[in-house]
Amino acid sequence: MKLIAGNQAAFWRCRFFGAQDTFHDDSVRHYFKDCYIQGLIDFIFGNARSLYELSSIANPVALGAKVINGVATVHGRASKDENSGFAFVNCIVGGTGRIWLGRVWRPFSTVVFAYTQMTDIIAPKGWNNFNDPTRDQTVFSGEYMCGGAGANMTLRVPYAQR
């Protein structure tokens, strides 16, 4: 696991590899440009206010006939008064297996994907409320002008913003 907690850190052309909890984007503001983050479960998690312009987020692990479900993002905003969220702009989400774009870790999780190409690894529902339907009213799980086989919004969860 890699951890970033300092304010206004920026990363260019970096590669981060892991399985669970690949990158802990802990707090405050960060910027990622042309980076590659590869993981399996909770690739990017934390409570920062960060902008990602990634070349790829990948889920490379499939074990025989058993495909392991993964989650690209897990945001930890616990209060509506916090100023945090993850924004993914001009990204590519690809790999193997089946993943959710995000899992609602805390009641006010905020994640947006915009102008992002998504392969068919994205689960049709797109997002997971962490088995707590009360969070459906308070989270912001958004997608805007995304393309590719995984960007089909017809089966997305009802709380997904379009």
Is 106 domain-assigned?
yes
At 120-137, the pLDDT tens digits run 989 999 999 988 999 999
Residue span of the structural domain in which 136 resides: 39-161
Percent of the chain with pLDDT over 70: 93
Is residue 109 a part of any domain in this protein?
yes
Q: Is residue 24 part of a domain?
A: no
Contact in structure between 48 and 23 (CB atoms under 8 Å): no
The CATH number that applies at residue 86 is: 2.160.20.10
Least confident of 22-26, 46-50, 57-61: 57-61
pTM for the model? 0.92
Length of the chain: 162
Q: Which of 63-77, 103-117, 134-148 has the lowest mean pLDDT?
A: 63-77
92: left (phi over 0), alpha (psi -120 to 50) or beta: beta
Residue 44 in any domain: the answer is: yes
Q: Whose CA is closest to 126, among 111, 106, 137, 115?
A: 111
Spatial neighbors of 46 by CB under 8 A, at least 6 apart, are 24, 25, 26, 27, 74, 75, 76
The residue written with tokens 């997002």 in the block is 127
Per residue in 57-98, pLDDT tens? 765 555 443 454 688 999 999 999 999 999 999 999 988 888
What residues are labeled active site? 21, 42
